Amino acid sequence: MLDRAIGRRPGAAGESPVDDNPPDLSLALHPRALDEDGGEKEEEEAEPRERRPFSLMDQPLFPNLPPPRPPRPRRLLDDDDDSSSPCCCSSSSLPPAAKRRRDLEARRGAVRAWGCQPLPEADPAVHALMELERRRQIHGIELIASENYACRAVLAALGSHLTNKYSEGLPGARYYSGNDHIDGIERLCCVRALAAFGLDPSRWGVNVQPYSCTSANFAVYTGLLLPSDRIMGLDSPSGGHVSHGYYTPNGKKVSGASIFFENLSYRVNPQTGYIDYDKVEERAMDFHPKILICGASSYPREWDYARMRLIADKCGAVLMCDMAQISGLVAAKECRNPFDYCDIVTSTTHKSLRGPRGGTIFFRKGKNQRKRSGSLPQMGENDQYDFEGRINFAVFPSMQGGPHNNHIAALAIALKQVATPEFKAYIQQVKKNAQALAMALLRRKCRLVTGGTDNHLVLWDLRTFGLTGKNFEKVCEACHISLNKTPIHGDNGSISPGGVRIGTPAMTTRGCLESDFEMMAEFLIRAAHIASIISKEHGKLQKDFLKSLENNSDIIELRNQVEAFALQFAMPEVDP
C-alpha cells in the first residue's frame, strides 16, 4: 500500500523494487502547492507561502507543527537612507550586527581622537608650563656652559615617530624585529660621528646609544674593570666631574664611580689653577689606576694629552678622555685633539655640539702597538684592542635597555652639521666671545681662575666680592641671567662654592658677538654689586637672602634691561 501511495511499482518477491520514474521525495518534507496537472505552482513573492498540513492516506503526520516565523527584517546597509526607516529611530531598535558595527566605529573614533589631539587640548597644564619655559628662554640670557639651543631639524627628529620603536641591541643584531630602517639610521649616525672627528673607521669605533656622558663613562668602567678596581681623574673642586669619582671631605661617596670602584683624584695647583702634571704622575705611580681620566667639567685651559699619555703608559693605565665640554671645539679643530693620544674618548652630544641630549663612546680598535707596564700586562705588537666588544656589552645589556632611536636620528642630523665650514665658524666665534667676556671682567678687576680662558668658558672667583656662588646665582636668576655656581680650588666647595662658571656657546648660537658679551659682562657686574648690597643688609643666611630678592627695585630694573637685550637675539626657529 505504501508503494502505491508513493507511486512505486512492486517487483517480484526477493527483488528490489523497480522505479522507472522516481518521485520527488522532497515533497514529503516540503510540500508545495500543485496545479491541476500535478505541476508546481509558482508562488508570488509578495505574498507569504501558506503552510499546508501533510497527510498520508488522509491521516495527518505532523499535527503539532509550530506556527511559521515572521519574515526577517531587511538588513540595513551603509548606503541605505535610514532616515525614514522605523528601525533606526533608536539604537535599541537596531539589529545586533548594526549595533556592533556602530560600537566599533565609536571605539575607533575615540582612539583616533586621543591620538590626534594637539598638546594644548591633550594636556593644558603641561602646555602652559612649557610655554612659560619657552618664554623664560626667549627673554633671558643663557650663560650655562653646558647648555645650548638645538636646531629645528634636531627637534623634529626628537619629536618623531622614531620614539615608538624598540631596538635593543646593535644594528644587525636586535632583540626585536622590524628594525631595518632603525639599523640604517644608527649606522649612518656612527659613520657621521667618526667623520665629524676625522677618525679612521678601521682604527676607531663608536657607540652612540648612551643616554648621557655619565652613562657612557660608567659603561666604560663596567666594561673594562672589576668592582673595586682603581680609577683616577681630576678632583671635583678642581673642576672635575663627579662621574670620574669623588669623595666629600668627610669621606662620603658621591657618585657610582666611587661606590663601585676605588678612586684617587688629582688636583690643580692651588696658586695657579692649572693642572700640575708632575703631581699627577707622582700620584699615578703610587696609586696605579687601571683607567687614568683626563677632561673636566670646569677647566678653562688646554689639556696636555701627550703628557697624560706618558703617565698612563708609565703606570700601566688605559687613558680615557671625557671631552663632554669641549667636543665641539675638538670637532672644529679649535683645541688640542684627545684622539691623538687617548684609548677611549667619551662625550655628550649637546653642549658645544648643539645636538640632542645624550652620550657617545669612541674606542680604539685593531692592532695595539702601544706597550704598557704596571697594572696591565705588557702588550706585544700582535695584540689587538679588545675595547669594542666589552664596551658594547656594557652599554647593552649591562647598563641600559633599548636605545632612544629619536635621539640617535637627531644626533645624526647634528653631526652632519658639525662637519660643515659653518660649524667651524660658529666654534671660532664661541672662543672669541669667551675671550671678550674674560677681558671685560678682568678690566673690571674681577678674579678669574687661571687668569683667562682657552676654550668656551670662564671661571669667576666671587670671593673678592664677599659672595658665594650660590647667592650670586640666585640674584642672576632673578634678573633672568642663567649661570651656575661652581667650586673654586681652595674653597669649601662642597658646602659653599666660591665661584660661578660662565659659558658662551648658547648666546653665540643666538647670534651674539664680542660687543654683546661685553654688555653681558656689565650686567654681571651690576648683579654682583646688587648681591653684595643684599648680603650686607640681610646677611648670608639663605632664607633671609632669598626673601630680600622679592620686589627689589634694583633687580627689577636690571631684569627689564636684560629682557630688552635678550629679545634682540631670537632663539632658533622661535619667535619672541
Q: Which residues are catalytic?
A: 166, 168, 322, 348, 351, 357
**DSSP letters along 52-73, please?**
---EETTEES-TTPPPPPPPPP
Give the cell for residue 52: 499546508
Alpha carbon distance 568, 576 (integer Å):
9
Q: How far apart are the first and last CA of the chain?
A: 107
Q: Which residues pair with 500 in a beta bridge?
A: 460, 485
E strands present in 323-405? 344-348, 359-364
Alpha carbon distance 169, 176 (integer Å):
9
Alpha carbon distance 152, 572 (integer Å):
7
CB-based contact 300:441 (threshold 8 Å): no
Alpha carbon distance 534, 517 (integer Å):
26
Alpha carbon distance 415, 354 (integer Å):
9
Peptide bond into 487 cis (omega under 30): no
Give the cell for residue 32: 508545495
Q: Please calculate the CA angle 32-37-40 and round it to the nearest 5 degrees.
A: 25
Alpha carbon distance 261, 221 (integer Å):
8
Residues in the chain: 576
Q: Which residue has the cell 703628557?
A: 307
Which secondary-structure segment (H or E) carries 262?
strand 262-263
Alpha carbon distance 507, 503 (integer Å):
9
Which secondary-structure segment (H or E) carries 331?
helix 327-331
CB-based contact 185:409 (threshold 8 Å): yes
- What are the φ/ψ torsions at residue 363 (nearest 5 degrees)? -145, 145
* Closest among 235, 371, 229, 239 to 299, alpha carbons compared: 239
Give the cell for residue 48: 507569504
Give the cell for residue 566: 635678550
Helix spans in 386-513 (H): 387-393, 405-418, 421-443, 469-478, 505-509
Q: Which residues pair with 275 in a beta bridge?
A: 268
Alpha carbon distance 411, 418 (integer Å):
10
CA torsion sign for 158, 162, 165, 166 is negative
